Structure 1
Amino acid sequence: MLEELQRLQAHIGVLKTRLAHFKSENDALNAAKADSNEHHHAQIVQKNGIITQKQEEIDNLSEQLSETQSQFKQLNSDAASLADRYSRLEKSCTDLKNRFQEILAERNELRVIKEKMQNDQRLAQQEIQGLQQERERLLQKNEHAKAKVEAIIQRLSILGTAQDQHAQEIQQLAHPADVNEDI
């Protein structure tokens, strides 16, 4: 009986160790999740800043383009009398076309960056969901382990009570004279 009790105590010790191990794993996973969330949030903030900056550049270039186009219209109206200015206007028109091509290229680059960021964000969301599911699974596993430990403890307490009753009965059978004197 003592051997069984010692074995059960050893099992309880093992279960406590496992429970502590699962708790430390859970804490580590929670810390990793928090770090991952912070890292992804920082990346999103950084990418949003880049997008805002590029959008401002596009707005500035659009303003420059509209200003240059108004200059182009004004020069066209004066083209008959000012051939000299007209040649400069053609040059600026070529420059504008180059700038427009650069703007289109930047816009395309921004689209690619935006798509990449959206994809990164989707992947981050999927990873977060996976980590949350893993956390839920570990929490359920932890609860299951706690329930097992509590059931073992309850069985041990019942076993201890039953042993006390058996010990009293054995003592009464071994010393019946003591029992008669008490009566």
Structure 2
Amino acid sequence: MLEELQRLQAHIGVLKTRLSQYENENRTLLNDKDTSAEQHHSQIAQKNSIITHKQEEVDTLSDQLKTSQDQLKQLNTDATALADRYSRLEKSCTDLKNRFQEILAERNELRMLKEQMQNEQRHAQQEIQNLKLERERLLQKNEHAKAKVEAIIQRLSILGTAQDQHAQEIQQLAHPAEANEEIES
């Protein structure tokens, strides 16, 4: 039994040694586990902060995307409005060109009418000039005829009373205004 006891003691010694090794390993493993858990928690915290940061970036980018989409809609609306305005301006330009052509045609017609009226005015002035010359000629002829009639009247008044009556008639014919004044007096 002693032997058995010694064997048991040897086994117990081996077991104690093993137990102490296992306890040391266990403590080491626990320390490793705690260290690993701390590292794991720090990595989780770091990953969570990265995830939070990335989520903030995603939110910021989503806001920017929404803003960009709103700007795109506004730009499309503005482009449509500008296209409509351009179309109206183009139509107005065409209308103005047509109106300008009409005005040019009217201007040409007015120029022709002006030239025609200037020609008519020149002809009328020439006619007036001719009529003035004719009037001058007729006035001179009238004065000449008047002088002849007065000379004839003077000769007739010299001839006598019988002939006086004819002279008065001739004088009345020559000067009807004077004869009317004598009758009225």
Which has the higher relative contact order, 1 or 2, with Cα contacts under 8 A spaced 6 or more apart? Answer: 1
TM score, norm. by length of structure 1: 0.46
TM score, norm. by length of structure 2: 0.46
